[in-house]
Structure 1
């Protein structure tokens, strides 16, 4: 469920105008999906609760698309070169793994809701599917929490303070919302363990209320994410964090048509080793040579 909020300067995929439109559409689509999710949980109190499940499925499908866009955006930023992740561990551990975890969590939650909807439509004929659905409703939010915590581990040492404040304003609501979903799913699973119920009756009121609260937190995070995207587009990438380990410079040189043979860090290391070797050779040479004054004294 969590949308990855990155403050990297490397998200330079495509033309600038198209990239800006894609970022705005991505942020707006996520905000819209959270509103649909709130409506889906609220519809569980109506006379037709199955309509709420349909709205949840639509919202989760949109959220999966948003996270897939985030994953592709981070890979496109490094020209899909997975080998470059070894030079910047945060790129692999956060900006690649977090969207992947969120996609898996949203997919599990989507399948759990889908199984319950099929069960309600078929007239309670697949009891094994109900048990799997309850397990998926727990596993999905657990992955959301893992992704939220992992997403909060982003470290931007050289980014602007204003950017980092915007980052935390997006992370904190997502983390709180993920925890609420996880707690609601666990309580609902324990509540249904000792009672024989089927279909929509497996979704208790605690799960619905905590789902509404969690969706509200996601909506707040979506609003702050829209503000963050707008501010970052206005900053023009000046106060954002660069990729570490020489990855950013290598990408810029490659995109300009220059293919460097050695990465900057390796080049600096070789220069230092060469200077040390030259100095050592000079010292050894001075020790081996006999001064001219000593030669004259020995002859006399």
Structure 2
């Protein structure tokens, strides 16, 4: 489980009057998701209730998919969905767009994989189909872990030019634990794959995978807490007039130029509408006067 941690000044999580509240709601949703992941993974320990753990993970995955889609929307809306601007600022494509997109895809793969596991655990499949579905479920989980790790790598390679060291430190307290956690998740998913021939080795690998996943989930929870602190820190930077990261390579200037052109066009259309409305009103008055005569 991972999410975008961006310090772009152009991010747009909601209406101007509620943009900080919407961004904070995004961070709280991510924190709840990480907490459910930790609870769910713990239930995979031997002797615990595995179906309950799977249900916790499914709810967490829905939350994380929504969070990443919201992150993607916030970045795209921040530059008015003007996709050609990514040619001027490659980081927009490689991080602000690619990271949440890759992470949302990983979340969807995890969701489908754990739905398969839930069906297997509840005994809703025929014995003939169990081996086939199990194989696909493990493959989906491994692929999803790889997508999350890729998203974490995207997230960790952000370039800073204007932000101070305090904001950069807060960024690293989110991105570095995410990178470590998703690496552990990938290792755990590979270890849990039922391809071990000797039963003692298979059992030891499965238990090791669960403990690795618990450590990874703990790191995710830590990153979720630090992400809320990071969002509050960026809010303070905005209020005190501090600098966050603008678009680069002339993209910020191009965006402002396009917005000015759009504003001028709207003003002209409004003026034309006002003139037309005034002419119509004048014509009605003249007609009424003629009728009175």
2:153 to 139, 149, 156: 149
Q: Distance in 1 between matches of 2:14 and 2:187?
A: 41
Q: Could you tell me whether the CA contact under 8 Å between 2:174 and 2:224 is conserved in 1? A: yes
Q: Could you tell me whether the CA contact under 8 Å between 2:51 and 2:118 is conserved in 1? A: yes
Count of residue pairs brought into register by the alignment? 254
Describe the superposition over 1:90-145 as per-residue Cα deviations: whole angstroms up to 9, x where unpaired: 00111111111111111111111110111222355222111000111111111111
Query: CA-atom RMSD, angstroms?
Result: 2.1
1:255 to 252, 256, 259: 259
The equivalent residue for 1:102 is 103
The equivalent residue for 2:228 is 226
> 3-state DSSP class of the match of 2:178?
helix
Distance 1:14 1:64, change over 3 A: closer
Instruction: Kindly report structure 1 stretches of 4+ aligned residues shifted beyond 6 Å.
Output: none
Distance 1:12 1:119, change over 3 A: closer
For structure 2, the 5+ residue unaligned runs are 265-293
Q: Distance in 1 between matches of 2:109 and 2:228?
A: 26
Match runs of 1:235-254 below 5 Å: 235-236=237-238, 238-254=242-258
1:257 Cα deviation from its structure 2 partner: 5.0
Q: Is 1:43–2:43 an aligned residue pair?
A: yes
Q: Distance in 2 between matches of 1:63 and 1:100?
A: 12
> Which one has a bigger Cα radius of gyration?
1
1:195 Cα deviation from its structure 2 partner: 6.6
1:14 Cα deviation from its structure 2 partner: 4.4
The equivalent residue for 2:71 is 70
Match runs of 1:160-179 below 5 Å: 160-179=164-183
* TM-score, normalisation: structure 2: 0.81
Question: Which segment is superposed worse, 250-259 or 95-104?
Answer: 250-259
Distance 1:258 1:81, change over 3 A: closer
> 3-state DSSP class of the match of 1:74?
helix
